[in-house]
Amino acid sequence: MSEVILEIDEIVMRAQKALDIIKTFSQEQVDNITEAMCHAGSAAGMNLAELAVEETGMGKLEDKAMKNYVATQVVYDQMKDGKSVGIIEEKNGVIHIAEPFGIVAAVTPTTNPTSTTLCNALISLKGRNVIIFAFHPRAQQCCAASAQILLDAAIAAGAPADCIQWIKKPSVEATNILMKHSGIAMVIATGGGAMVKAAYSSGHPALGVGPGNVPVYIERTADLNMAVNNIIASKTFDYGTLCLTEQTVIFDNEDTAQKVLQLFKERGTYLCDEVQKTKLEAVMFDKEKGVPSASIVGQSPQKLAQLAGFFVPDEIKLLLVPIKAIGTEDWMSHEKLSPVLSWYIADNTDMAIQAAVDLLEFGGAGHTAVAFSRNEEILVEYALKVPAGRVIWNQPALHGVCGITSGLTASLTLGCGARGGNITTDNITYKNLLNIKRVAKRTKEDA
């Protein structure tokens, strides 16, 4: 038996002992533990952001700190009054009893390493589960630091030892062994498509995500100033590392396009010409794997331009490139995970909506779509037709999806449903980590 298998067996055995204890806890005990975890994670948010930027070389310090805050304080605030122990609801003569799923195996990415770790640990323990992490090798140290902070806080608040664990020597082999281990009850996979597919092939229930290739339709009646400001705020956050942010702006006429492009330019966006676009495409994608190149993810516009062989001034926040086709004939219509935004002009409303559909089907089915318009009939038509699990109206994708400007629930794991090869379209929360037992009273007499 290999050393890796022995290590995973030992981790799972310790997790089972912790599970046997925590599953006996009351709602009050669980809530005390998650409150302590929230406070500890939130207080360490800036330090963990520094570790993440230093280790991964991706993103912006202040934005990663904000993601850590969302992953702890915002997530906690939304779930703190929720019931997750024992009888949680009685409706129509049916009693709903919450039980933990068990041992959760969680795979985390390089793009949002500390925030994903914080969020998944918090929602797992809210449901009286225990969690074992397999961190991305290029983010092992910052993720381990995040997990250790929450573990220490949880234990101090009464949680059992080993309720949060992680693989100490990361590898693809170790991650696969963990996900397939017979002791695992649930897999949460946040990362690349191959890893998510492996999670769904593990033999266990899995909560995974699909890639995002978010279209944003700016319809002719939209508040153009608001649309541009919102898109810039979302797309430039953490240098575009979040898969839920806008990837391609779609217009339904030339006049609106030119007005919006001018507004982008006035607000610190660099409009690339065809030559610069070609240079960017050459460095931005691993076309064999069909994904953005690791070297460009979460980098500044200045760094991206330098890699591509041209120069942009320091004040530039975003690069904008034109596309005339959607699909492999124009790779700039793909997800970019960087402060690069493409734009596309359709001939009318129907063709603009179809362009959004095509973009999602090319590389983001089931994820997220955005639209700006004052015409609610068009907004509804857009929502009905796009193959997205989340449709955001008249707000930034980032802020809308995370519940900052909408009623959606904050999460760092976003399901993409059947279209994205996932089990759910939910923003994953502690509710997805509960086994619900239903007790049915007799409410009807025999016929």
Cα-Cα end-to-end distance for the chain = 61
374: number of CA atoms within 13 Å, CB side? 6
Tokens 């929230």 appear where?
38
- The active-site residue out of 243, 272, 402, 416 is 243
243 is catalytic: yes
Assess contact for 218 and 256: CB atoms under 8 A. yes
Residue 292 in contact with residue 336, Cβ under 8 Å?
A: yes
Residues taking part in catalysis? 243
